[in-house]
Amino acid sequence: MPTLQLPRHNLTIGGADLCVIAGLNVLEDEGLALEVAGHLKSVTEALGLPFVFKASFDKANRSSLDSYRGPGLDPGLKILTAVKAKHDLPIASDIHEPGQAERASEVIDVLQIPAFLCRQTDLIVSAAKAAKASDGWLHVKKGQFLAPLDCGNIVAKARDAIGEDRVVLCERGVSFGYNNLVVDMLGIEQMRGLGCPVTVDATHSVQLPGADPRTGGKSTGGRRNGVATIACAAVAAGVDGVFLEFHPHPDKALCDGPSCLPLSSAEALLAKLKAFHRVARQ
CA 214, 203, 244, 111 torsion-angle sign? negative
DSSP designation for 265: G
Q: For residues 54 and 89, what is the distance between their CA atoms, to the nearest angstrom?
A: 10
Beta strands in 202-248 (DSSP E): 207-208, 221-222, 241-247
Q: How far apart are the first and last CA of the chain?
A: 16
Which residue in 17, 54, 58, 59 is the catalytic one? 59
Q: Which of 25, 58, 142, 157 is catalytic?
A: 25
Q: Give the whole-angstrom CA distance, residue 71 versus residue 59.
A: 10
Whole-angstrom distance, CA of residue 228 vs CA of residue 236: 12
Catalytic, 256? Answer: yes
Element (H or E) spanning 281, and its range? helix 266-281
Instruction: Report yes or no: 260 and 204 within 8 Å, Cβ to Cβ.
Output: no
- Which of the residues 94, 201, 212, 256 is marked catalytic? 256
Q: Is 135 designated active site? A: no
Displacement of CA 30 from its chain's centroid (Å): 20
What SS3 class is residue 150? helix
109 flagged as catalytic = no
Nearest Cα neighbor of 255 from 21, 83, 56 is: 56
Catalytic residues: 25, 59, 256
